[in-house]
Amino acid sequence: MHTRKLFFILLAGLFLILSCQRADAPPARDARLTVIATIFPLCDFAREVGGDKASVTMLLPPASDAHHYELKPDDIVRVSHADIFLFVSFEMEQWAYKVINAAAEKTNMLAVEAGKGAMLLPLTQEPGHGHESDAMEASGDREEEPATRYDPHIWLDFANAQTMIDNIAAAFINKDPSNSETYKQNAERYKARLQELDRSYRTGLSDCRTRTLLHAGHWAFSYLARRYQLTYLSAYNMSADAEPSPQQMLMLINEVKKKKLPYIYYEDLAAPKLAKTIAAETGVGLLKLNNGHDVGKRDIQAGATFISLMEGNLKSLKKGMQCP
């Protein structure tokens, strides 16, 4: 009995250390809330809100394609053992309803759409819908056209990130009211850090030589661009699994030349080849931007957090847009 208890304490400690990594076994039962969050930003937010009262793990293995994730039977088992299942939205994780339906049959697991109530931006271009150019463009002062689908990367607007924190805190309080004060305090403290991050973006990007963010990756930064009045150009739609057309490539190269951009941006886990081609063609420099959901195992193990990734992005943006 004693050994068994010790084993569970050790196991619980292990899960605490491995936060925001995928756990291959269902979480051990302990006094803490067991929470499964689909992707990295959500997992990191949940970890901040839960503090030492929640055991939070990430459903997706690091570096998997969050938009087109293929569920494994084991995922359903893991979620059905959790107290709370957190996903961003049915726009982001279109497969989430499958997990919820399958797991909810067996348990009283609470499924929470953390992005509920967030400000949404439409995807400004769908392939075949016609557009003035082959790349997608969003600008802070442009009227958005109505669309039926939304850009799911809502956390890249830091006010939306705070809405997500509120939703997460409400879910934790619902399931574990005895610790409601802790969850509220943790949520407020973290929201203050997000507000501080927002201020550093506003100040840092207030006076730049260019305001064009040319991204040789998938359409992910429209929220960030809108919030800080940047013009956003992206090479791909929602996933970077198909090479862009020669016309798209030409358009991006022309934009770099026309606007005399000193740098363009690439994603860690997709499309460095495209970025390199544009760079070779134009002599432009390359800088990394992280969308929050593509976070590799090495970064997670090195202790990356949502805020550290966003601070890295701000550094890249200031350098690339020449903001003093």
Interface of this chain with Zn ion, residues 8 to 37, rule: CB under 5 A:
none
Place of tokens 């059905």: 80
Closest residue to Zn ion, Cβ-based? 220
* Cβ closest to Zn ion, residue 83 vs residue 267: 267
Crossing angle of helices 40-50 and 158-175, rounded to 10°: 50
Site string for Zn ion, 290-309 (x = CB under 5 A): --------------------
By CB under 5 A, residue 156 contacts Zn ion:
no
* Cβ closest to Zn ion, residue 27 vs residue 217: 217
**Rounded CA gap, 234 and 40, in Å?**
22
Minimum distance from CB of 315 to Zn ion (Å)? 21
Query: In Å, how far are 59, 119, 164 from 112, measured between CA atoms?
Result: 14, 17, 10
* Cβ closest to Zn ion, residue 71 vs residue 102: 71
List, in sequence order, every residue forming a beta bridge with 110; answer none if it has no partner. 84
Q: Is 20 helix (H, G, I), strand (E, B) or coil?
A: coil
By CB under 5 A, residue 92 contacts Zn ion:
no
Interface of this chain with Zn ion, residues 204 to 243, rule: CB under 5 A:
220
Q: Which residues of 269-300 are buried (b: 16+ CB within 10 A; e: fewer)?
A: bbbbebbebbbeebebebbebbbbbbbeeebb
Minimum distance from CB of 153 to Zn ion (Å)? 6
DSSP 218-249: -S--HHHHHHTT-EEEESSSS---SPPPHHHH
* Cβ closest to Zn ion, residue 119 vs residue 208: 119
* Cβ closest to Zn ion, residue 262 vs residue 312: 312
Using CB under 5 A as the criterion, which residues of the chain lie in contact with Zn ion when the complex forms?
220
